[in-house]
Amino acid sequence: GAVVSQHPSRVICKSGTSVKIECRSLDFQATTMFWYRQFPKQSLMLMATSNEGSKATYEQGVEKDKFLINHASLTLSTLTVTSAHPEDSSFYICSARGLAGVIEQYFGPGTRLTVT
């Protein structure tokens, strides 16, 4: 089946620094990738939709200058949290859809970000 990986799985960074999270589709080409965040015991909230070779589309209320998304290839999208603050601590999950005729999105294992 389709596999999506994320790296790192856990990251701790200091307030004010930036951290990059990678999302890779391992065995298929993902024309579209999605970035979600999930606070403890809450649901997934879509942050942005990332299309290969074009600018990401951000959801209302998500700061595009703070959460930089790059989808430079059909197998890799990155999310960079710039000038991180403790309130950015969350579980970030990516998903990908690219297989023709496949309906579901395949999710990565998630990245737990802790900002101290």
Instruction: Give the closest residue to 6 by CA, choosing from 18, 20, 23, 19.
Output: 23
- Compute the least distance from the CB of residue 83 to other proteins, in Å: 25
Q: Using CB under 8 A, pick the residue from 11, 13, 89, 91 that binds other proteins.
A: 91
Asked if 34 interacts with other proteins (CB under 8 A), we say yes
Query: Per CB under 8 A, does 52 bind other proteins?
Result: no
Could you tell me how many residues of this chain bind other proteins (CB under 8 A)? Answer: 21
CA end-to-end span of the chain, whole Å?
Answer: 37
Residue 90 main-chain phi, psi, to 5 deg: -175, 180
Nearest distance, CB of residue 33 and other proteins, angstroms: 10
Q: Return the residue of 24, 67, 106, 115 that touches other proteins, per CB under 8 A.
A: 106
- When asked if residue 56 is in the footprint of other proteins (CB under 8 A), the reply is no
> What DSSP letter does each residue of 17-80 carry, written as one string?
--EEEEEEESSS--SEEEEEEE-TTS-EEEEEEEETTSPPEEPTT--TTTEEEEEEETTEEEEE
The contact set with other proteins (CB under 8 A) reads 32, 34, 42-46, 49, 91, 93, 95, 97, 103-110, 112
